[in-house]
A and B are shown apart, each in its own frame.
Chain A
Amino acid sequence: MLLIFLSSGLFLGWSLGANDAANIFGTAVGTKMVRFKTAALICGVFVILGAVIAGAGATETLGELGAVNAIAGSFMVALSAGFTIFWMTKLKLPVSTSQAIVGAIVGWNFFTGSPTDYSVLSKIVLTWIACPVLAAVFSMLIFALFKVILNGMRIHLLRIDLFNRTGLILVGAFGAFSLGANNIANVMGVFVPVAPFDEIRLFDMMSLSGAQQLFLLGGIAIALGVYTYSRRVMETVGGSLLKLSPQAALVVVLSQALVLFLFASQQLESWLMAHNLPTIPLVPVSSSQAVIGAVIGIGLLKGGRGIRYKVLGSIATGWITTPIIAGIITFISLFFLQNVFQQEVSRKVATQITKPAIMQIEKERYIHTVLDR
């Protein structure tokens, strides 16, 4: 039964692997600089590692937005997000898993009457906007640095090719790790509060928590997506859509990986905290939009010719339409699941308001009254 409920999340993982692996290895495979088998192996292994090791950060943020607390509800939230992606892709509209899942969670909140933390929601939406912008800034900086190095060092064309090949594999591994760390929240995040897994200890040296076991399953689903379906996507991306030089491709993948890593790394967050620096919110972001941002960054550095600004407009529209559509679909499908199929989509949680809480509320009210005067 558990597997049936998990299937929607696993399907989401599979489709993520099928589509987003091309953002990392698309140009490398499309231009035949890296063989598909090599790319798929590296991508699969590092996505799983990223998901299991560093997947918790972004998942926590999704949990703050709405903790789906019944497995049938989680199933429907993931399924609705998956359906939104499928439908919008069919209509050729730009769509991202991150945006669909957030809409779906908010849909669940509305349906079950759970409160939505709007500060978390606005943090998430701001991160979506920051993601391509940051990717563009990174790609401009890295590309400029590459140019200085390549022009200054007079490296042989063939040697540049060798460095590029090695770089694409290394950066690809980092990109896959970041993708796993950042996007596993989309795939398995909604199942975390309801996962019935116990902690597993391996040889007394390491342990896998319930959430990490879920992430492992999700990571495997993504890896399967990479192996079974990403080849064609990679060849399309590398061969026809994005005409990038191998150096530019390396810069794009590196910028995207850095952005995804920034929005997923708890280690970085605690380091920033320890040094009294402002932290970066850990939020699942769209790798495709990071790629577009990075490509535009390089375009801007070259004088801004040939940039199709329409693409930017369609991304911005996607930030609004995708979550709304996913939210509505989730709301309707939860209604059917609850009333037609008689499944428990949420559990009512009794909340006790303690004395200190009342005192806190009164104190804040007092502050507001003072401020209003």
Chain B
Amino acid sequence: MAILFRTTKELESQIDEYLDSVSQGALVFKQGVMNYLDNDKDNLNEHIKNIGQLESRADELRRAIENRLYTHTLIPEHRGDVLGILESTDDVIDTMKETLNQFDIECPYIPEELNKNYFELTDMSVSASEALVQAARAFFRDVNAVKDHLHKVYFYEKEADRIGDKLKRKVFQLDLDLSLKFHLRYFALHIQMVSDRAEEVADRLAIYTIKRTI
């Protein structure tokens, strides 16, 4: 029983640390995009390195948590759901890392008048991820509060879609090469993808929460 008590305590802190990594990843992603828009290469590289570390740590923690949940047959009723939450949340930080890497590799040309739009889009996507992390935390500790955070995820995701659409229209109205317009559209899509991933996790969480309250 003592082992079980220790395992439970350790697992609780591992889950907290995992969600911290995702949340911190979102903040680093936001800073990274800002650095790119400001042409601040040094800080961008630092943030790319940082988000890579956070993503690897999140992967490590996720595997450790899953392993422990199954070897100790903990939370048999909700094990599958917790696994679903952890794996889909991992996709959010993965997408952020990939997007930041693509900025570094492809170095898209962003006209200055679009900076504000890209920043707004990033801000909305990051807000969606942060609200999602809060919802996931609530799932573990205060299941009745999950929906208070989920509606924010949905709101920010819709906003990100709206801002993304506006951005793409603006891009295609500019006097630029078509290839450049495509490139800019792809980057808008990449950033939007972060909020889409957050929405996918939110959908799962909504169902799992109903299951927990029954």
Interface residues of A, Cβ cutoff 8 Å to B: 31-33, 151, 154-159, 161-162, 165-166, 245-246, 302
How many pairs of residues, A versus B, come closer than 8 Å at their CB atoms? 42
Chain B stretch 1-29: residues in CB contact (< 8 A) with chain A: 1, 4-5, 8, 11-12, 15
Contact of B76 among A31, A155, A159 (CB under 8 A): A31
Q: Are B75 and A157 in contact (CB under 8 A)?
A: yes
Does B141 make an interface contact (CB < 8 A)?
Answer: yes
8 smallest CB-CB distances across A and B, nearest first, come from A154-B142, A162-B8, A161-B75, A31-B76, A32-B73, A157-B140, A158-B8, A154-B141
Of B82, B141, B144, B214, most buried by chain A (CB within 10 Å of CB) is B141
A157 neighbours in B (Cβ, 8 Å): 75, 78, 82, 139-141, 212
**Chain A residues within 8 Å of B139, by CB:** 157
In the bound complex, do residue A166 and residue B73 qualify as a contact, i.e. CB atoms below 8 Å apart?
Answer: no
Given contacts A157-B82, A158-B11, A159-B8, 12 further A-B contacts (CB under 8 A): A33-B76, A154-B142, A156-B141, A157-B78, A157-B212, A158-B75, A158-B140, A159-B12, A161-B8, A162-B8, A246-B76, A246-B77
Please name all residues of chain B whose beta carbon is closer than 8 Å to the beta carbon of A246 when the two chains form the complex. Answer: 76-77
| Cβ-neighbour of B73 out of A33, A154, A155, A159 (below 8 A) | A33
Chain B contact residues (Cβ within 8 angstroms of A): what range? 20 to 34
Whether, in the assembled complex, B74 has its beta carbon less than 8 Å from a beta carbon of chain A, the answer is yes
A158 vs B74: C-alpha distance in the bound complex, in angstroms?
A: 8
- Quick one: which of B60-82 are within 8 Å of A by CB? 73-78, 82
How distant is the Cα of A165 from the Cα of B76 in the complex, in angstroms?
Answer: 11
Known: A156-B12, A158-B12. A166 touches B1 (CB 8 A): yes
| A151-B144, A158-B11 known; A32 vs B76 contact (CB < 8 Å) | yes
How far does the alpha carbon of A75 sit from the alpha carbon of B4 in the complex, in Å? Answer: 48
Cβ-closest chain B residue relative to A150: B143
A selection of 8 A-B contacts at a CB cut-off of 8 Å is: A32-B73, A32-B76, A33-B73, A158-B15, A158-B75, A162-B4, A166-B1, A246-B77
Report the nearest A residue to B138, measured CB to CB: A154
CB distance from A165 to the nearest CB of B (A): 7
Per the 8 Å Cβ criterion, residues 161-186 of B in contact with A are none
Quick one: CB contact mask for B183-214 with A, threshold 8 Å, 1 for yes?
Answer: 00000000000000000000000000000101
Q: Find the A residue at minimum CB distance from B5.
A: A162
Chain A residues within an 8 Å CB radius of B73: 32-33
Q: Hey, which chain A residues are within 8 Å of B74, CB to CB? A: 158, 161
